[in-house]
Amino acid sequence: MEERLQKILAAAGVASRRVAEKIILSGRVKVNGKPVKELGAKFGPKAFVTVDDKPIKREGKIYYIFYKPRGVVTTLSDPQGRKTVADYLDSLPARVFPVGRLDYNTEGLLLLTNDGLLAQSIMHPKNEIKKSYRVLVVGLVPQEKLDLLRIGVKLEDGVTAPAIIDLLAYDHDKNTTLFAITIHEGKNRQVRRMCDYIGFPVRQLLRYKIANLTLNGLKRGQARPLAEEELAALQKVVGTDE
């Protein structure tokens, strides 16, 4: 995928994007041996970029969606010897890290990448990136309890922002309620604590969506690279497309 030169320089750690723009305007940057002074110029991953005739380090960016199973920690190593995300990623072409975390017993969508800028932007609270979960609880959850989640509930670290709640099913035989919740904050164990608050502790929790990304095509424990369109749409949502 082609990217603006200032973004390429920033991603390679040369300077912030703003400073990279000044470096470009000052004529210190060459692409494939030719000076480039335009800020809008875009280049692909194979372009040979130098600053003051020194090549910049361009690490290929990779982006994977991973379907984390329950009973796996969202880290690359675990002192307690539990299964980690790294146990599933041997075949990936470069080192990646998980963006955000899911609890040990939560399953679902984790984005894995070596793109620090995108990762930071997804996690930054000001960007309000939506994350959707399917929640299973025991009992029939009354509408007024779901309304509390819709309005916001008081947790020890603050009141939660309004959540989008969709009641999906009540299973009479098992006496369980399944609902979807979409939030844009990233408080620790947020969904579990919200459900504790209304008196319906989580039995099963699955994250099925982050922004435009879904688990489509994946089984538990599998990873797949993001399609170009998925990545482009994600960058647009989080504002790293410029």
Q: Toward ligand URA, which CB reaches closer, 50 or 127? A: 127
- Asked if 106 interacts with ligand URA (CB under 6 A), we say yes
- Asked if 87 interacts with ligand URA (CB under 6 A), we say no
CA dist 112 and 119 (Å) reads 9
- Asked if 189 interacts with ligand URA (CB under 6 A), we say yes
Interface segment toward ligand URA; rule CB under 6 A; list 30-38, 100-108, 117-125, 160-168: 100-108
- Asked if 78 interacts with ligand URA (CB under 6 A), we say no
Buried b (16+ CB within 10 A) or exposed e, 78-100: beeeeebbbebbeebeeebbbbe
105: left (phi over 0), alpha (psi -120 to 50) or beta: alpha
- Give me the active site residues, please: 103
- Asked if 203 interacts with ligand URA (CB under 6 A), we say no
Tell me the number of residues near ligand URA by CB under 6 A: 8
- Asked if 160 interacts with ligand URA (CB under 6 A), we say no
- Asked if 21 interacts with ligand URA (CB under 6 A), we say no
Query: Least Å distance between CB 164 and ligand URA?
Result: 15
DSSP 84-145: BGGGG-TTSSS--EEES---TT-EEEEEEES-HHHHHHHH-GGG---EEEEEEEESPPPHHH
End-to-end CA distance of the chain: 13
Interface segment toward ligand URA; rule CB under 6 A; list 6-14, 48-56, 149-157, 189-197: 189-197
CB 65 within 8 A of CB 110: yes
Task: Return the residue of 6, 132, 160, 190 that touches ligand URA, per CB under 6 A.
Answer: 190
- Asked if 191 interacts with ligand URA (CB under 6 A), we say yes
CA dist 134 and 216 (Å) reads 15
> Positive or negative, the Cα torsion across 131, 117, 234, 104?
negative
In the shown chain, the binding pattern of residues 25 to 64 toward ligand URA, with x for contact by CB under 6 A and - for none, equals ----------------------------------------
Q: What residues make contact with ligand URA under the rule CB under 6 A?
A: 102-103, 106, 189-192, 205
